[in-house]
């Protein structure tokens, strides 16, 4: 793992952890995984996409719906 990308994996893990702890709706988790897969298809080497997605998932879990973070 690139040491410079450690924060990206941290944000992604924290986002998933927040979902697991806070959100009970399995559809949100499914949609998050779908977004992750799409991001990887668009540009698998662009770590910023994964970082931003991890942050968005974390905020989605905390605030409860997409409108609050857009």
CB-CB contact of 10 with 57 (8 Å): no
Q: Which pLDDT band, with edges at 50, 70 and 90, does 70 fall under? A: very low
Residue 3 contacts by C-beta under 8 Å, 6 or more apart in sequence?
none
What average pLDDT does this structure show over 38-64?
70
- For residue range 20-50, what is the model confidence (pLDDT) as tens digits? 665 556 666 667 677 767 767 776 666 676 6
As a whole number, the mean pLDDT across the chain is: 66
Residue 56 has pLDDT above 60, yes or no: yes
Q: Is the dihedral of CA 31, 23, 61, 3 positive or negative?
A: negative
CA angle 64, 67, 70 (to 5 degrees): 115
């Amino acid at each position: 793992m690139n040491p410079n990308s450690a924060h990206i994996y941290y944000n992604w893990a924290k986002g998933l952890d927040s979902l697991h702890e806070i959100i009970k709706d399995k559809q949100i988790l499914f949609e998050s995984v779908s977004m992750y897969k799409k991001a990887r298809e668009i540009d698998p080497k662009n770590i910023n996409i994964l970082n931003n997605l991890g942050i968005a998932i974390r905020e989605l879990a905390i605030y409860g719906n997409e409108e609050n973070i857009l």
